[in-house]
Structure 1
């Protein structure tokens, strides 16, 4: 299974924020993580809606990981960002002619859940223990 670019950007952001003691702006985070500002802004908005990132506007504002975000499981974050869509194109146009009797869809759904379950025991905070924290803190805006 391959994560969407949006999920990848979102996970990189929560990891960087977990290693940060202060506030980061969206623009600074985008530069540090080599992501276009518009993509980062969308990730910030979604993570904020999920209650994982706190945003403050204006002078002295920026982004901060919430306690909920710090202790969130990577599995729950990925589940929320990736959604429940089919991994195969069963309902594409035209739909797959095998879909009425196919077992692949169910097998892929089970595999996706096993993937998520393997990430459920990993918290954001666990992702940023040394040496990852040191590397994350060395990132400079690009």
Structure 2
């Protein structure tokens, strides 16, 4: 009903959820943002474990729940996408794969796509509390509630 006034955001698994929900519902949201999202679960241990448990062993069916795979075929409106990722996040190398989503977005010509690596930050509350205002401003601008 008020989709013209909605943005979506999340952290970690919730960040992945926010991105996939936005990509699976073109036009429903005006902006999406995420903190340290799991960006390519079909190719990381957390995702493989979760998808195997919940979806079974048919890996082809997993793509519809993977932000990077969804981005590869995305043809909807390009809503502003902001990701903040801590460079010292202990999950970054093995689990999060933001570069996979960034590469898929670049290959599709998806813009605006912003991946900010935040030096020295990890996966914690302090990381989120430091940058949450940027994410709220990101949504507010997209919703026409703040100056561009």
Q: Give the TM bin, normalised by the shorter chain.
A: under 0.3
The structure whose Rg is larger is: 1
- Using the size of structure 2 for normalisation, the TM-score is 0.24
Q: Kindly indicate which of the two structures has a greater share of residues assigned to strand.
A: 2
